[in-house]
Amino acid sequence: MKGLGLVLLAATALSGCHMPGRPAPGPEVPRPESVMSFAQLYGENCSGCHGADGRNGSAMELGNPVYLAIIDDAALRNIIANGEKGTLMPGFGNAAGGSLTDKQIDALVSGMRARWAKPNVLAGMTAPPWKASQPGDATHGAAVYTQACARCHGNTSQQPGAAGSILDGSFLALVNDQTIRTIVIAGRDDIGQPDWRNVLLGRALTDAEITDLTAWLIAQTPPHPGHPYPSTQPTAERPGEQQPLATHTQ
Amino acid sequence: MPWYRRTYDWLERRLQLEGPIKDAVLHPVPKSTASWWYVFGSASAVLLVLQVVTGILLALVYSPSASHAWNILQMLNHQVPLGWFLRAMHGWGSNFMVAIVVIHMAQVFLFGAYKFPRELTWIIGVFLLLLTLGMAFTGQVLRFDQDAYWGLAIGASILGRVPWIGGQLVHLMLGGPIINGATLTRFFALHVFILPGTLLVLTGLHVWMVVKLGINEWPMPGRLVRRETYIQEYNELAHKDGLPFFPGAAWKDAYFAAAILLAVALCAAYFGPYGPTGTPDPTIINTVPKPDPPFLWIYTVLSYLPPEMETPFLLIVPPLAIAVLLGLPFVAGVGEKSWWRRPVAVFSVMFLAVCWASFTHLATYTPWSPKMNAWSGAPIPTAFLERRTPLERQGANVFQEKQCRNCHSIGGSGGLRGPALDDVATRLTEDQLIRQVLLGGGNMPAYGSTLSPPETTALVRFLNTLHPNYQPAASDASRAVAGQGGVPSASTVERGNGQHKTQ
């Protein structure tokens, strides 16, 4: 009887207490299309370029509340599903050859908003729309560049500023007008780069200025970009790091 | 006389088992065999019983149907009380059984126990090992998840390489040209009837011979086995310096078997059951199937073999290995038993153990295999993006989007197929990086046709930033000179060691 009691005790202990080996609810490996958790979808598909938690990635900061405030769900869905032409953002939707279903893309969009959006981030101000409503005036854009951008990005690609050149042909060939417009409006608060309100001292950039600037920048793309030695001057020297390149001119 | 005594006598008069059992249990064994080294055989048998009991309980619920098997395991994991624990006990019991059988075999080999007159015991033991491995493989198939599916696919493609009859063998194994419902029923029959039936019969024979021929005495250097005198010497040893098997030697077996069962239960409670991983659907391509622990080493070996060596290896080495094991007692059936005087035997065991451990360890992190979702799922560490120019950041995007990360790690995450690139700029100059990216080489494919010039430039600019702060990037001195519009008259090139100006 004593033995039976011990067995019963052991069985109760086994079924009652939490054991680490007990499988978590749901299948260990769900079918890929049935994954709906934002953390998993974002972690497996987006974090590589956009950074863990939407910040500090090499590509656009998705966790930027200003960005989430100016872009609507349809545009986000379209970019995730079909990619962004002219940039390195590929399409992740089934139709574009990716692995995400429409429902998963919806889960990503709503998850981004739930985690990172701040409802009042633009309260009391009118931000420029995410999409330009009219073509820009490139000639005027040059003046905007000198006024607003040159301070950090330099006047020419040969004279890069502290933040590195954005007039580099290879850089311009890898972005499109929407990339430039988005980054000018939303900025990158994760790496300390200003949004459209803080580029100029005293006032925000206007919608027209941003449109013109974008048009001018895109017009600076050389016809055959990507020559590794456009000039032998270093175009992308890291800020603050002057390497001992030969500079003598004798 | 009490009633139980009368019942016993009634049964004994008819069965007459008391004598043989007493003989077997109380037979004298050499005192030296009452050692902790002699416990692995009985532990294997106890694990076999555990597997039979847990297996029968699982068979009460399991259904060998391709459409139901996976769901039934889900039900066992989540709905049946302690169903997951039962599965875990059977799965971990299997791992332990393979391990203990192999240890038992190594011990028997090192102690020379396969020598005269125990040759047949050894030979049957070899078949018991093969059957145990067969049970492990067929059991993995019954889980019928992605690991099982692709494990079967590997098994079938191995069989398909047999000359002339490969096709028919695959058909026989799978019950058709592809993995289907008939495959599962075949493996169910193998795992539940054919293999365990044979295993039990051979185990019985194995134990019978151990009892009849006596437990191998502790080998002493210089005490050689001779066919003419061994039996007599052994009997003298067992009777003069011996003790009855029970309880003299058996209590150690009992303690060890209990400890092993406890270890199985602890592993089951802590690590839980094996899978089932994803559904066995070949259209799901983002899966990383892995064999169960006993076969991880084969996974490594097959991954590292050059393609042209695969078929010869698969068709020659296993039969050869089995032939060596079976032939061992005939080649070395007499003579020295002690490991002190059998260096080749000792080093063989050590060599195989080191190989096995290395291959198994490699299979746990598969450095040969690209990490197919690293490009989209492994962020570039912030430190590698700090204070980078816009072009270099675009280069990081190229690095991810073109899936360089799947083979090359940065900051410890990413594939291990190619070298880690954390400090690649200290090894390659910008020109060398461009050449490597465009033309490949050293086992890396060429990406010249998939990268546009701006992408290449951006990528190389990013790679060129990958060096520690205290060490500059490798640079080509001639680039700086060329940047001045030709070789200046008094450059460091011309004033190099051993040179002098010509004009």
At residue A200, the pLDDT reads 87
Which one of A124-133, A218-227, B202-211 scores highest in mean pLDDT?
B202-211
CA–CA distance, B425 with B473 (Å, rounded to integer):
5
- Listed in order, the ranges of chain B carrying CATH 1.10.760.10 are 374-480
Q: What are phi and psi of B483, to 5 degrees?
A: -65, -20
- Listed in order, the ranges of chain B carrying CATH 1.20.810.10 are 18-365
At residue A45, the pLDDT reads 95
- Of B109, B106, B101, B171, which is closest to residue B136 (Cα–Cα)? B101
Residue A90: its chain B contacts at CB < 8 A? 401
**What percentage of residues in chain B have a pLDDT greater than 70?**
95
How close B68 gets to chain A, by Cα (Å)?
14
Tell which wins on pLDDT, A3 or B210.
Answer: B210
User: Model-level pTM greater than 0.80?
Assistant: yes
Q: Which of B78, B400, B458 sits opposite A25 (nearest CB)?
A: B78
**What percentage of residues in chain A have a pLDDT greater than 90?**
61
Chain A residue closest to B375 (CA)? A48
CA–CA distance, A35 with B308 (Å, rounded to integer):
40
- Of B83, B85, B82, which is closest to residue B73 (Cα–Cα)? B83
Q: What are phi and psi of B29, to 5 degrees?
A: -125, 155
Give the pair of three-digit tokens for residue A45: 């598909």
Residue-by-residue DSSP string for B145-171: SHHHHHHHHHHHHHHTTSTTTHHHHHH
Give the pair of three-digit tokens for residue B19: 């004598």
Residue A25: its chain B contacts at CB < 8 A? 78
At residue A4, the pLDDT reads 57
- In the numeric block, the tokens 């065991």 are attached to B349
Chain B residue closest to A20 (CA)? B270
At residue B283, the pLDDT reads 87
CB contact under 8 A, B268 and A44: no
At residue A121, the pLDDT reads 87
Span A32-55, pLDDT tens digits: 899 999 999 999 999 999 999 999
Q: Which of B434, B461, B477 sits opposite A236 (nearest CB)?
A: B461
CB contact under 8 A, B81 and A224: no
Chain A residue closest to B484 (CA)? A249
pLDDT of B349 strictly over 70: yes
CB contact under 8 A, A11 and B82: yes
pLDDT of B488 strictly over 60: no
CB contact under 8 A, A240 and B380: no
- Of A78, A87, A25, which is closest to residue B401 (Cα–Cα)? A87
CATH number of A138-219: 1.10.760.10
Distance (Å) of CA B330 to CA B122, B225, B335, B339: 11, 13, 12, 19
CB contact under 8 A, A171 and B394: yes
CB contact under 8 A, B278 and A31: yes
pLDDT of B140 strictly over 90: yes
For residues A228-242, average pLDDT:
52
CB contact under 8 A, A31 and B281: yes
- In the numeric block, the tokens 């989209």 are attached to B376
- Ranking A8-17, A132-141, B83-92, B335-344 by mean pLDDT, the lowest is A8-17
How close B389 gets to chain A, by Cα (Å)?
4
Residue B458: its chain A contacts at CB < 8 A? 170-171, 174
At residue B26, the pLDDT reads 87
For residues B448-459, average pLDDT:
95
Give the pair of three-digit tokens for residue B149: 């599916």
CB atoms within 10 A of CB B203: 20
Average pLDDT, chain A: 86
Tell which wins on pLDDT, B20 or A18.
Answer: B20
ipTM score assigned to the predicted complex: 0.86
pLDDT of A234 strictly over 60: no
- In the numeric block, the tokens 């080649």 are attached to B331
CB contact under 8 A, A29 and B434: no
Q: Which of A21, A57, A153 sits opposite B270 (nearest CB)?
A: A21
Q: What are the start-end ranges of the H helices in A21-174?
A: 38-45, 47-50, 65-70, 73-82, 102-116, 138-144, 150-153, 169-173
Span B125-138, pLDDT tens digits: 999 999 999 999 99
CA–CA distance, A140 with B290 (Å, rounded to integer):
61
- In the numeric block, the tokens 């279903």 are attached to A101
- Of A31, A35, A38, A24, which is closest to residue A111 (Cα–Cα)? A38
CA–CA distance, A162 with A150 (Å, rounded to integer):
10
Q: Which of A23, A163, A164 sits opposite B78 (nearest CB)?
A: A23
Chain A residue closest to B385 (CA)? A58
Give the confidence band of B485 by pLDDT, cuts at 50, 70, 90.
Answer: low
For residues B445-474, average pLDDT:
93
pLDDT of A101 strictly over 90: yes
Give the confidence band of A12 by pLDDT, cuts at 50, 70, 90.
Answer: low
pLDDT of A152 strictly over 50: yes
CA–CA distance, A181 with A204 (Å, rounded to integer):
14
Average pLDDT, chain B: 91
pLDDT of A174 strictly over 90: yes
Q: Which residues contact B42 (CB under 8 A, 6 or more apart)?
A: B253, B256, B257
- To the question of domain B18-365 being in CATH 3.20.20.140, the answer is no
Whether the CB-CB separation of B51 and B90 falls below 8 Å is answered with: yes
CATH number of B374-480: 1.10.760.10
Give SS3 for A38.
helix
CB contact under 8 A, B390 and A166: yes
pLDDT of B496 strictly over 50: no
How close B460 gets to chain A, by Cα (Å)?
9
CA–CA distance, B284 with B146 (Å, rounded to integer):
9
CA dihedral of residues B21, B23, B28, B32 (deg, nearest 10) = -20
Angle between helix B453-463 and helix B390-401 axes, rounded to 10 deg: 100
CA–CA distance, B94 with A84 (Å, rounded to integer):
52
Tell me the residue ranges of DSSP E strands in B173-298. 242-244
- In the numeric block, the tokens 């109380």 are attached to B26
Span A73-95, pLDDT tens digits: 999 999 999 999 999 999 999 99
- In the numeric block, the tokens 């003419």 are attached to B228
For residues B200-204, average pLDDT:
97
At residue A14, the pLDDT reads 55
- Chain B interface disruption, residue of A37, A44, A49, A247, most B CBs within 10 A: A49
At residue A36, the pLDDT reads 94
pLDDT of B497 strictly over 60: no
pLDDT of B502 strictly over 60: no
Q: Which of B275, B457, B479 sits opposite A226 (nearest CB)?
A: B457
Whether the CB-CB separation of B373 and B347 falls below 8 Å is answered with: no
Give SS3 for B125.
helix
Q: Which residues contact B80 (CB under 8 A, 6 or more apart)?
A: B61, B86
Residue A100: its chain B contacts at CB < 8 A? none
Distance (Å) of CA B9 to CA A17, B14, B22, B26: 47, 9, 16, 21
At residue B284, the pLDDT reads 87
CA–CA distance, B298 with B338 (Å, rounded to integer):
31
pLDDT of A58 strictly over 50: yes
CATH number of A35-116: 1.10.760.10
Equal fold, A35-116 vs A138-219: yes
Whether the CB-CB separation of A228 and A234 falls below 8 Å is answered with: no
Q: What are phi and psi of A111, to 5 degrees?
A: -65, -40
CA–CA distance, A133 with A207 (Å, rounded to integer):
9
Q: What are phi and psi of B91, to 5 degrees?
A: -65, -45
Residue B275: its chain A contacts at CB < 8 A? 28-29
For residues B65-93, average pLDDT:
94
Q: Which of A27, A49, A169 sits opposite B401 (nearest CB)?
A: A49
- Chain A interface disruption, residue of B397, B467, B501, most A CBs within 10 A: B397
Give the confidence band of A9 by pLDDT, cuts at 50, 70, 90.
Answer: low
Query: What are the residues facing B443 on neighbouring strands?
Result: none
CA–CA distance, A144 with A151 (Å, rounded to integer):
11
Using omega within 30 degrees of 0 as the cis cutoff, is the peptide bond preceding B247 cis?
yes
CA–CA distance, A199 with A193 (Å, rounded to integer):
9
Q: Which residues contact B270 (CB under 8 A, 6 or more apart)?
A: A19, A20, A21
CA–CA distance, B74 with B84 (Å, rounded to integer):
9
Radius of gyration of chain A measured on its C-alpha atoms: 25
